[in-house]
Amino acid sequence: MGMPRLQKKRSSTPCLGICTTTFGDEVCKGCKRFAHEIVSWTKYTSEEREIVNFRLEQFKIQILEHRFKVIDKDLFSKHLDQMGINFNYSLDPLTWVFDLFRAIGSQEIELSIFGVESLKNYDPKTIKDEINDELRELSEAHHERYFKKAN
């Protein structure tokens, strides 16, 4: 048995290691944080980090709640751990669906093995990009509404 994985907290970084803010994006195409949040992350308090993660968690739930349902949280987390898939146990298990699809790409999988139910048909070839694009659009709209300076 390997080393136990570090358990993430609500204040843990959502960074995926593919930051696009270095190329001028105001919203990272990886984690969906705003450029100013990424730059200031190490200076943020735990509470400030939790606020950012709460926003991202709520956006993911909004995107996923009509598509998928987590039936067995423990089974889901066990399989994600076994597969070495990066997810945050302290967040709503529905958000782990996002992590699962991000990790497996367009592979077809039997969701019931993970303790997850699909509430509507989806195309395994496009679902990852669909939910990722929706999350980016929500994050960009939020940034536009609350952080853009009026010209």
The 10s digit of each residue's pLDDT in 92-105 is: 999 999 999 999 98
pTM score, whole prediction:
0.91
The mean per-residue pLDDT over the stretch 140-145 comes to 95
The residue range of the domain holding 53 is 21-146
| Total domains present in the chain | 1
In a domain, 83, yes or no: yes
Q: Is the pLDDT of residue 5 over 70?
A: no
Strands (E), 1-151: 68-70, 116-118
13 domain residue, yes or no: no
Rounded to whole angstroms, the Cα distance separating 96 from 126 reads: 18
Dist. CA 102–CA 125, nearest whole Å: 12
Residue 15 included in any domain? no
Phi, psi for 7 (deg, rounded to 5): -80, 125
Q: And the tokens for 138?
A: 């929500």
- How does residue 1 score in pLDDT terms, banded at 50, 70 and 90? very low
